[in-house]
Structure 1
């Protein structure tokens, strides 16, 4: 089973306003998008587990025209709070790169 980094040309995370974080997972081909965008490794439940989010609030949005998936979840605390560790959420994607796809 490949790791996410092996079938994607670009993976990023970023802020989506002060209350949300979003991930953009761009697959390197339409074939890989079709094969893996519904993988349990990219599921709502998996993101909820990895990032401590409520699964009912995680959004998983496939965008076939771009061979990508957008996944968003609410921040545990608002952006810029006293316990903020990644103000722009630009480092959150790193733990996804070694996730094995099914």
Structure 2
């Protein structure tokens, strides 16, 4: 069964986690889907690294945050916030690659 992340998530967002890191939050609508995705382990460091075209070592963490029905991930920013050439000072527009995710479960 193919499942689109945008269909099962209430919130998909990105934001600064300091000037050198970006964090991504995926907050699920239902416990059933949250638990299914967590059990399958499909949102992991390798997936995030692939989506953002970075080394796996640059993915700081991917954690399941059960109190919020959420999966959180943090990566090293390719450019520090506000650095010349950086295009999103607040990191609020970096979640776009997550929007196209589909899973076979």
Structure 1 length normalisation: TM-score?
0.91
Aligned length: 101
The C-alpha deviation readout for 1:1-32, integer Å capped at 9, x for no partner, is: 11110000111100100000000100101111
- 1:61 paired with 2:69, answer no
The C-alpha deviation readout for 1:24-82, integer Å capped at 9, x for no partner, is: 10010111100013442x22111111112221231101011211011000001211111
Instruction: Assess, with a 3 A threshold, how the Cα gap between structure 1 residues 97 and 39 changes in structure 2: closer, same or farther.
Output: farther
Gaps of 5+ in 1: none
The aligned residue for residue 78 of structure 1 is: 80
Stretches of 4+ aligned residues off by more than 3 angstroms: none
Larger strand share, 1 or 2: 2
Gaps of 5+ in 2: none
